[in-house]
Amino acid sequence: MARAGWIEDRGDRGLRWRARYRGPDGLVRSRSFATRVRAQRWLTDQQSKIDQAAWVNPDLGRILWADYSNQLLAGRTHVAARTVETERRCHERAAELIGDVQLIQLTPDLLRKATTQLASRYAPETVARTMRWVRLTLNQAVRDRRITASPADGIRLPRSHPTEMRLLDPTEVADLADSLPDRYSSLATTAAYTGMRWGELAGLQLGDLDLPRRRLTVRRTLVEATGHTPQLGPPKSKASERSIALPRFVAETLTRHLESYPPVDDMIWTTEQGAVLRRGSFGRIWRKAVTESVGPPCRIHDLRHTHAAWLIADGEHPKAIQTRLGHGSIAVTMDRYGHLMDGLDDQIALHLETRARSVAPPARPERSRDPPGIGL
């Protein structure tokens, strides 16, 4: 049987000692060192990895990070187009810093420096999102057995601060809806009183409405990505496929909208030309209406936050709120809106007080007023 590993004395100056071993793939690999001790240490490490099935082919790790990242992006066919677009932007930002580095040459120190450089140019959330993509690629490289461990493990990312919510009251929602062009007024009303996401609103079709029963079903979302034609796709998650009960006045608002603006290709809201509503073009209309009514800042997504805040203020059960918003778990609902529930404990105490006072206290037997008898 061929030797698994050995050390050769080349007898010349410089890197005199050459350690060689035969890998699981049958190929012999080597590295030269200045001292025999270092050569033996490296050889022992390689043999240990082989024995523990932890050895990886070093040739596979010599691919540039940018090339490997591009390969992963090309295979993300199961991910929504908008998500892939976000990941590609992350790739482009990271490629400027580590794109020409081989996977096996990436180190924690190099990634920490890249994080610092990104932080000097971008917001914390952008930095964190970019480095999460880097981490994803390196974790996949470990699974592909291109590297033995991810150098991104343990890299601390900047804390991102969620965009502050703008919560409106019903009067402000009505003012905002009135400031929009008439064909879009019902969209704002529906958003505030259903909590639907933008893509769900833009992808709503006639068959999704059952106005006599005052029900709306979310079956799809409009997917937008730079360089691609908007397409209807499945909702964000399985939990996003849901049925939403409508207040009577919202059902009536939608009925009037359909009478004034009959659906084009079954789409509830379209442009004046009959095209689907795109986030960018509608955004200009939205910002103008915000300026003329409630004042900036106010995003379309803030109507979803507003809806959640109303439900919480009304004391609705968190599980019911989760279902109505289409969150995948109640933990998502609590993480996003838990801070709005801080004042509910006082409300609970008030309800308990009311419940206690609604019950008449039991009658107590009257005690005798006569003085106790004196025994003779």
- Of 33-42, 134-143, 246-255, 279-288, least confident by mean pLDDT is 33-42
The Cα–Cα gap between 335 and 260 comes to: 40
Residue 162 lies in a domain: no
pTM of the model: 0.67
The whole domain housing 183 covers 170-337
Judgement on whether residues 215 and 96 belong to the same structural domain of the protein: no
Q: Binning pLDDT at 50, 70 and 90, where does residue 272 land?
A: very high
Residue 320 pLDDT exceeds 90 = yes
Q: Binning pLDDT at 50, 70 and 90, where does residue 331 land?
A: confident
| 218 phi/psi in degrees, rounded to 5 | -90, 110
CATH number of residue 192's parent domain: 1.10.443.10
Residue 373 pLDDT exceeds 60 = no
Mean pLDDT of 192-207: 96
Q: How many structural domains comprise the chain? A: 3
Mean pLDDT of 46-56: 80
The Cα–Cα gap between 87 and 273 comes to: 32
Yes or no: say if 202 and 222 are a contact pair by the CB < 8 Å rule.
Answer: yes
Q: Which residue has the tokens 């030309």?
A: 273
Mean pLDDT of 186-195: 97
Q: What angle is formed at CA 115 by the lines to CA 110 and CA 120, rounded to 5 degrees?
A: 125
Predicted pLDDT at 157: 87
Condensed to tens digits (0 to 9), the pLDDT of residues 70-123 reads 999 999 887 777 788 889 999 999 999 999 999 999 999 999 999 999 999 998
The Cα–Cα gap between 262 and 276 comes to: 14
Q: If you ran DSSP here, which 8-state letter would residue 294 be given?
A: T
Predicted pLDDT at 376: 41
Q: For the range 349-358, what are the long-range contacts, defined as Cβ-Cβ under 8 Å and sequence gap of 24 or more?
A: 351/315
Residue 375 lies in a domain: no
- Of 167-171, 205-209, 213-217, 225-229, least confident by mean pLDDT is 225-229
Q: Which residue has the tokens 């730079």?
A: 226
Predicted pLDDT at 58: 82
Q: What angle is formed at CA 104 by the lines to CA 99 and CA 109, rounded to 5 degrees?
A: 75
Judgement on whether residues 46 and 66 belong to the same structural domain of the protein: no
Residue 367 pLDDT exceeds 70 = no
Judgement on whether residues 103 and 18 belong to the same structural domain of the protein: no
Q: How many CA atoms lie within 13 A of 279 on its CB side?
A: 17
Judgement on whether residues 48 and 114 belong to the same structural domain of the protein: no
Residue 175 lies in a domain: yes
Judgement on whether residues 190 and 324 belong to the same structural domain of the protein: yes
Judgement on whether residues 206 and 107 belong to the same structural domain of the protein: no
Residue 347 pLDDT exceeds 80 = no
Condensed to tens digits (0 to 9), the pLDDT of residues 139-158 reads 999 999 899 889 999 888 88
Where would I find the H helices in the chain? 36-51, 65-74, 81-98, 108-119, 124-143, 170-179, 182-194, 198-202, 248-260, 279-292, 302-313, 318-325, 330-337, 344-357
Q: For the range 312-320, what are the long-range contacts, defined as Cβ-Cβ under 8 Å and sequence gap of 24 or more?
A: 312/337, 312/340, 312/341, 312/344, 313/340, 315/344, 315/347, 315/351
Residue 163 lies in a domain: no
The Cα–Cα gap between 32 and 14 comes to: 9
CA distances to 92, 111, 124, 167, 282 from 97, rounded to whole Å, are 9, 9, 17, 39, 36
Judgement on whether residues 113 and 221 belong to the same structural domain of the protein: no
Residue 299's CB is within 10 A of a number of other CB atoms, namely 17
CATH number of residue 79's parent domain: 1.10.150
Yes or no: say if 196 and 263 are a contact pair by the CB < 8 Å rule.
Answer: no
Last residue of a domain, one of 21, 40, 55: 55
Judgement on whether residues 136 and 183 belong to the same structural domain of the protein: no
Judgement on whether residues 131 and 216 belong to the same structural domain of the protein: no
Predicted pLDDT at 1: 39
Judgement on whether residues 194 and 319 belong to the same structural domain of the protein: yes
